[in-house]
Structure 1
């Protein structure tokens, strides 16, 4: 974080400063900010966030032991550390992020990119950060830091030397992207797709469109929007961009896109294509598994080239990326039994894409095995969408369908109803049962996809299988 005195910090947060003995109000703090006391480093700022399970105020002492020099709290805590008392710790975190980014932007050449979409945010963020980091200091979220806590924490890593801030904006309810993106007013806003992820929380696909379009409405006047030309709902955001006097840069597979992919070929070592950006073409071998990640690469290239990076440099840097993120199309196991662990997140769109990838990368002498868990946050759409995935798995000819967890049972029932019998589809209530079955079932030449939402926990089953067949 940029340097602030304790008095300045209190003024920014409109809070009451309570100094520790022997500490003056002009003492300077510039350490990292965090809400997790275990991650505090010497000189750090600890935000005591109240939570559903526990309360950050209980861990102020632990943060001090790890080197925190100030705590942002909602009530004064008996601990030997200076404290800024505020009504709302999460609100204060947002206020601090807004101030820090504004100060850096006003003083230098900071460019800010915001990314949202029902799927692909984290992968696109990582691809874009990889391109930009060779241009100058780049700050991007760790993992999926894209909510009311994670997004501001990422913003607070910005310093006077930062050239690019890449922010990922997720949402669990309408208005959340507007609040988060409004903290920084991105110069470039990237919208990947509008799908069924979180549709239960939003109340349907049209409400999801409204939520994702909040990023476009938050773009700095005269900025740039990078929109998916292949998604009609995303394409419909162009008039919203015009309201912000923002230009539109299109990416997609069609000939009308400013940045497009042709001759796409999917294999076990990644996806090859020819990328064209503004009339210049070059081949790309994207080693991140899955044809759907080509669209994420296109979005990253569209943003990066708009920021002045050449297509040749974009491609050279993307070809160094072997894994988008842990538990996202992560290759494990061995050539004998290959495990693809993609169980960090799941929606109907990403589940479909992962199953299609499994079918595409499996050779004629190899066997497809899909280990599937529940897709969460679908609300009233959950039954129909789980049915649809069970049907798709059968139609793709997946040779073994292993469904895990009662919340995903409809996939199994639909697979059976569609003609997958004779042990082609099996169901297990627990990960342990599925693991024991797969230890005895998997054989040389199997290609295994493990896919579920984070809450279903199958990512750990994928790790176990990867280790067992390494």
Structure 2
């Protein structure tokens, strides 16, 4: 964070400062701002976020013991640490982030990229960060810091030297992207795709599209909108982008300014050619899956708008080994290969992962899909689990292991489609699945582990990876 006095911070966020003998209004802080007391170091700032399970105010003392200089709270806590009392710490966090980014932008160096989409946000922000970090000091989200807490915490990591800020914007309800992106007014906005992820919170895919388009409305006038022209709902955002005064750059595998051809996926990675005008750039990603081609195109197009040569961008992307932990992460050993992709799941990402499993498995190898529930789909949950079960059979996945009661419809659909002779099994939980797979898996198996975060199968993937390493 930039250096600010405790008094300045109190003024910026509209709170009342309570000092101590060790910290006055003139005390300068420039450390990290965080809601996790365990992550703090000397000079950091602790935000006491109330939560559904616990209350951050209980950990103000732990934050002080870790070295925090300041706590932002909703009520004074009996601990010898400087505190700023505000009415709402989440709102204060947003106001704080807006103010800090505005101060750095006023110096004229900082440019902001905002990314949204139903799938691919985290991979794309990692691609962007890899490309831009070679251009200058870059701040990007840790993991999937893309909500009302994570996005402002990322913004508050900028310093006076930061040249690029990459923001990932997720949402589970209308208005969230508008509120978060409005804190920074991105110079470049990236719209990846509109799918059924979190559709239950929006009321359907058309409402989801409207929510994703909020990023367009929050962009800095005169900036650039990078749009996935392979997705008709994203392509339709071109008109509001023009009305906003944005330059439009399309990407995709069809008729687009930044286009991919010759896509090929194997067990070692993903190859394609980027075409921009007369330029042809071969790319060999280490990241598995044809669905990551669009994410790479988006990163190349967005950084091109910031002045990075596409050939340089492509070369940097080739050094990325995995998209993120638990996202198409190769594990296991030579005999049994595990792909742990269980950080999150939507119908689109589930289908893409299953297709990748089928593509990378040789004729003498066996496909095994370990599948859990897809969450936050609302009324469409049953039909979408049915669809994935049918797809798994039609892709000739040879073992379909369905875990948990919430995914039972997927199992029943697979059985109904023809996987009734032991090819599909249903197990109650991850523990039972591990015991089954430990005995079932054999040399030559390629195993996909895929579910939403709430199903917890990412830890099952870790156990399998360790067991077969």
| Bucket of the pairwise TM-score, normalised by the shorter protein | over 0.9
Residue pair 1:110, 1:165 contacting (<8 A) in 2 also: yes
* Gap regions ≥5 residues in structure 2: none
1:22–1:265 Cα change, 3 Å: closer
Shift, 1:315, TM fit: 1.2
The reply on whether 1:110 has 2:110 as its aligned counterpart is yes
Residue pair 1:116, 1:190 contacting (<8 A) in 2 also: yes
| Equivalent position of 1:460 in the other structure | 459
| Equivalent position of 1:336 in the other structure | 335
Secondary structure in 1 matching 2:172: coil
Secondary structure in 2 matching 1:65: helix
Aligned residues: 469
Q: Aligned runs of 1:340-359 on 2, under 5 Å?
A: 340-359=339-358
| Equivalent position of 1:94 in the other structure | 94
| Equivalent position of 1:308 in the other structure | 307
Deviations 1:172-207 (A, max 9, x none): 111000000000000000000000000011100001
Residue pair 1:352, 1:389 contacting (<8 A) in 2 also: yes
1:222 and 1:313 map into 2 onto residues whose CA distance is 25
Deviations 1:48-97 (A, max 9, x none): 11111111111101100011111111101111111111000010100010
| Equivalent position of 2:52 in the other structure | 52
Q: Aligned runs of 1:5-84 on 2, under 5 Å?
A: 5-84=5-84
1:102 and 1:160 map into 2 onto residues whose CA distance is 11
2:24 and 2:71 map into 1 onto residues whose CA distance is 15
| Equivalent position of 2:278 in the other structure | 279
| Equivalent position of 1:238 in the other structure | 238
Residue pair 1:370, 1:401 contacting (<8 A) in 2 also: yes
Secondary structure in 2 matching 1:25: coil
Deviations 1:405-438 (A, max 9, x none): 0000111100110111210000001111111111
Q: Aligned runs of 1:66-465 on 2, under 5 Å?
A: 66-254=66-254, 256-465=255-464
Residue pair 1:140, 1:165 contacting (<8 A) in 2 also: yes
Residue pair 1:366, 1:445 contacting (<8 A) in 2 also: yes
Shift, 1:456, TM fit: 0.1
1:278 and 1:328 map into 2 onto residues whose CA distance is 32
Residue pair 1:277, 1:302 contacting (<8 A) in 2 also: no
2:360 and 2:22 map into 1 onto residues whose CA distance is 65
Secondary structure in 1 matching 2:337: strand
2:243 and 2:109 map into 1 onto residues whose CA distance is 25
Shift, 1:108, TM fit: 2.8
Shift, 1:23, TM fit: 2.9
Secondary structure in 2 matching 1:60: helix
1:297 and 1:9 map into 2 onto residues whose CA distance is 38
Shift, 1:278, TM fit: 3.8
1:12 and 1:323 map into 2 onto residues whose CA distance is 39
Deviations 1:240-285 (A, max 9, x none): 111210111000001x211111011110001111111243111000
1:462 and 1:23 map into 2 onto residues whose CA distance is 47
Shift, 1:335, TM fit: 1.6
Secondary structure in 1 matching 2:106: helix
Residue pair 1:12, 1:99 contacting (<8 A) in 2 also: yes
Shift, 1:308, TM fit: 0.7
Secondary structure in 1 matching 2:293: helix
Shift, 1:22, TM fit: 4.4
Residue pair 1:368, 1:447 contacting (<8 A) in 2 also: yes
2:129 and 2:114 map into 1 onto residues whose CA distance is 12
1:154 and 1:203 map into 2 onto residues whose CA distance is 29
Residue pair 1:108, 1:160 contacting (<8 A) in 2 also: no
Give 4+ residue runs of structure 1 displaced > 4 Å after superposition: none
1:138 and 1:193 map into 2 onto residues whose CA distance is 25
Shift, 1:25, TM fit: 1.3
Deviations 1:318-358 (A, max 9, x none): 11011010000000001210000000000000000000000
1:38 and 1:432 map into 2 onto residues whose CA distance is 29
Deviations 1:290-325 (A, max 9, x none): 010001000000001111111111111011011010
Shift, 1:441, TM fit: 0.9
* Gap regions ≥5 residues in structure 1: none
Secondary structure in 2 matching 1:72: strand
2:205 and 2:444 map into 1 onto residues whose CA distance is 39
2:466 and 2:68 map into 1 onto residues whose CA distance is 38
TM-score (norm 1): 0.99
Residue pair 1:367, 1:445 contacting (<8 A) in 2 also: yes
